[in-house]
Homo-oligomer: A and B are copies of this chain.
């Protein structure tokens, strides 16, 4: 083991077991140092500490082909400690990924470069997920690993048989989300998941002993993991550990790797000074001496680069053999791997609509969503359901979905437990892996617990689907801790997130159609606990929600004087208010706005046709006003929430907060009076 005394620098480097492997690792070390130094910003410590592990993993184990980075059956490599991004970028360059040139490394952390401060999904092939917010990568990995297990159970090991390898740091472990992930992975017996803990005893504030006394191995054992402890610079030990991990197929493995942060730095190694920031020319010069490295910055000696490139091409044969098998794979597998929906999937939406219209019944949108899912799952078998222990409330389990059990992955429904954050991050991993369309439910108030993962889905532009029921004070008795009030505004503030709040069963079907149409946008479905009447009774399959907002009922008996905007469970309230206003001789339109985001994508003419040229306007939504000012304008009124909610019967709660059709009528008349 490397001799690391917390708080003091490691001024020598342990002799390598294999100098050649050390040289390969030093390629990563110097590229990382050089790039951070050039950028004058970044995190050299982790790449330098984990370089030896990366060498053994990629040289001897990783199943991949740098020439075809999207090969479906590749092993996934997840850098959960994303601040160590130069480790990944260095690897991609060394291995010969076409997306990553030496120039890209030189523009590390510059605007427009592929090499962002933290790995950004979509910037370059080989970046499997966006990491940086700590704990997210390891929690994504549960999704990657689950996806492999589920696809493998259905289509066989000839087509799907790979591992998920994860690098993670102390920060990942301290974040609560990692516990949810570890616990889920252990419970479900995800044997294809192998994690390497960069046990360097250092965080930004100083030694980890400042803030933690955890027995990490004990913690993982308690979650039923296979655990190993090694010297993270001993290449033989690394190799043996990975072999042992692969041999245990009914448990995930944690390999605790004792490492020296900033391995090779002459004065900063082993201390928190190695964690972040440019090391300085002098420190790098010292590292060159210590590691006997002669090459200039950003230059990799040819023999080493050649070997790295050979490692990058090592999987070509396996990949082409798989491609042969793929040609004769089931059509469903081929379709799912290509991320294509079945040709007739929209029939499921049409069938749900017809069901709603035929019945004509009032219905909670969470129930309507459940009914849509019954049809959708039959049409789209890759839909993977789940809930954070609220299955009966979220209506997330389609009637033909079967449960996935620990070690038995031939199902389509997950019990994520009371782990909203872990679920959301797993959904991201599932979506990123491909072959599945994951959705998961909880109470909308607890979307706050998922928010960091929802944000990453939005940033990555992936179709994770968050089914959020009990979407307002309409939740009733559970009270303000469970009643979302600010969540609609807070979620609408997030770029690229589709926030849908359907106002009746038909709109619910339309919103699900929108969700599935957009593979590059995560969805946040805000669904009611309480029933609401069927408002959309027309035949046909035109998706009126698709433009985000539309005129549900135009003004009658004259030019439009008032526009009422509403969403979700308040839509029928606006319709009632309109009836009164029309009876009072005020031509009033009702605009339904299930998705603000989609409405904002429309052209000015359409927007104007919906909003109207009249200035008297009212928005009604059982949530805070923030954002509605945009539509109601200078003379408008808002009927909604101005505080947290209250525990009580739904009708009483709505009355308490003055969200009623009468209040909408009064507000409309006020607005009209102000317009004059």
Contacts and interface: CB of A to CB of B under 8 A. Distances in A.
A491 B184 CA distance: 31
A142 to B, nearest CB: 13
A516 to B, nearest CB: 24
Interface residues of A, number: 110
Interface stretch (A340-348, A428-436, A471-479): A471-479
B170 A418 contact: yes
Contacts of A448: 133, 451-452, 455
A649 B203 CA distance: 25
A266 interface: no
Contacts of A649: 109-111
Interface in A476-519: 476-482, 485-486, 489-496
Contacts of A387: 205
A213 interface: yes
A224 B218 CA distance: 10
A210 interface: yes
A648 B482 contact: no
A118 B446 CA distance: 15
Nearest to A653: B111
Interface stretch (A146-154, A327-335, A353-361, A638-646): A638-646
Contacts of A642: 495
A42 B116 contact: no
A175 B180 contact: yes
A496 B109 CA distance: 38
Interface stretch (A90-98, A561-569, A580-588, A628-636): A628-636
Given A627-B629, A647-B116, A211 B176 contact: no
Contact of A392 (B204, B218, B393, B421): B204
A575 interface: no
Contacts of A491: 490
Given A419-B175, A476-B41, A493-B490, A204 B118 contact: no
A448 B425 CA distance: 14
Contacts of A479: 109, 116-118, 120, 132
A281 interface: no
Interface string A276-289: 00000000000000
Contact of A391 (B110, B118, B205, B478): B205
Interface string A353-393: 00000000000000000000000000000000001011111
Contacts of A644: 458-459, 495-496
A176 B175 contact: yes
A219 B223 contact: yes
Q: Quick one: which of A421, A479, A496, A648 has the most chain B CB within 10 A? A: A479
A542 to B, nearest CB: 30
A134 interface: yes
A628 to B, nearest CB: 8
Contacts of A389: 171, 174, 203-205, 211
Given A179-B179, A222-B222, A481 B648 contact: no
Contacts of A493: 486, 489-490, 493, 624, 626
A96 to B, nearest CB: 24
Given A118-B647, A389-B205, A656-B111, A481 B82 contact: yes
Contact of A187 (B205, B206, B214, B653): B214
28 contacts: A82-B481, A109-B477, A109-B648, A111-B649, A112-B656, A113-B647, A117-B481, A118-B478, A133-B446, A170-B418, A171-B418, A174-B417, A187-B212, A205-B389, A205-B390, A211-B418, A217-B222, A221-B222, A456-B481, A459-B481, A485-B495, A489-B490, A490-B494, A495-B624, A495-B642, A496-B644, A626-B626, A633-B633
A39 interface: yes
A298 interface: no
Contact of A629 (B134, B218, B629): B629
